[in-house]
Amino acid sequence: MLGYLACRAAGKRELREAAILNRNTPDEALAQLASSTGDEALLELMALNQQRLVRYPALIDAILGNSARTSEAERRAKETRREFFEKERGARQIADELRARGKVAAAEFFESAESSVDGGELNLEDVWLIAKHIEVEDADLDDSWLPAERYEELLGETAEERAAAVLRIVESERVETGDVSTERIAMIHRIMLMNARDRLKLAMKGDREARGILIRDPNKIVSSAVINNPRITEHEVENIAAMRTISDEVLRLISMNRGWARSYPIIHNLTRNPRTPLPTVMNILPRIRSKDLKQLSQNRNISEGVRRQAQRLAGTRTGD
């Protein structure tokens, strides 16, 4: 009866509206109505019920195939298709092909990624280029360092914030290296199109090039994830400890790692870096060699408190 009222009650808008709003009306009947009606209001009403659209995708096709649809009905139908079908299908197809090529880590990444490929943020070329820079499989990850409450810091970012982050990272690399190639800038731009949660995953699963970009990410959770990447090397950490354009949180985390704390080049770089938190530097200074303490005491790029403590420790060792 509900199907009959939806499809055959000609001229009775009130009956058709009631049928559309009734959860027991057959999906097939509404798809038939969506294909044939010239009533814009009815098409909008059907497009509002996202749960039904997801349950019966043919209804989306019927709405979009009707020339009488309003821009609002079209927008809602397309958004539902993109969010629940195109995005999921696109990610799954990409993951299947990556796995077939033996790129298990990359496949795992795109199966769990939240960034939209079909939604316009990343195109397929971007996806494949990023896939080349993923090398860590899920089985090798340890995310125990990330408390659940810190996920709040990975909430949505505006397009303006992402664009500003690209400029900041490029400028940071220029300060550190003196030049940034066009290809490198393009890679930075692609990575920053991803949302913060996906950049977090890439930071923990990416290769050296991806790590080099994301260590400069303005989001401290993302940059900290690089330090927890199981493939990061001691040489990389030594270079990071000397960078003056990265988060002080990253430098603090480096100092807390027992393995890296045994590396003299790493702790020496931390003491010379003006971005290293003062308490961290003060804890490290007693382990710095005397000749390096003397140099630190004359280093105008670091804080006066560090210079004085370095001078005091050097004097104590020499009896001055």
30-50: pLDDT as tens digits:
999 999 888 899 999 999 998
Q: Are residues 206 and 268 in the same domain?
A: no
Taking only the tens place, the pLDDT of each residue in 166-189 is: 999 999 999 888 888 998 999 999
SS3 content of the chain, % helix, strand, coil (to 5): 70, 0, 30
Q: Is residue 10 pLDDT above 70, yes or no? A: no
61 belongs to a structural domain: yes
Q: With bands split at pLDDT 50, 70 and 90, how would you rate the model's confidence at 130? A: confident
239 belongs to a structural domain: no
Domain boundary among 203, 232, 261: 232
Count CB-CB contacts under 10 A for residue 9: 15
**H helical segments located in 114-256:** 124-131, 159-177, 182-192, 196-205, 208-214, 220-227, 234-242, 248-256
Q: Which range of residues forms the domain containing residue 180? A: 101-143+154-232
Bridge partners of 134? 206
Q: Are residues 52 and 110 in the same domain?
A: no
Q: Are residues 136 and 224 in the same domain?
A: yes
Q: Cβ contacts of residue 181 below 8 Å, gap of 6+?
A: none
113 belongs to a structural domain: yes
Please give the Cα distance from 135 to 192 (Å, whole number): 19
Q: Are residues 203 and 129 in the same domain?
A: yes
Q: Are residues 115 and 223 in the same domain?
A: yes
Please state the domain count of the chain: 3
Query: What pLDDT, on a 0 to 100 scale, did the predictor assign at position 9?
Result: 57
Query: What pLDDT, on a 0 to 100 scale, did the predictor assign at position 118?
Result: 45
**pTM of the full predicted structure?**
0.69
Q: Which residue has the tokens 């790029």?
A: 301
Q: Are residues 175 and 294 in the same domain?
A: no
Please give the Cα distance from 206 to 202 (Å, whole number): 5
Please give the Cα distance from 106 to 83 (Å, whole number): 22
Share of the chain above pLDDT 90, in %: 56
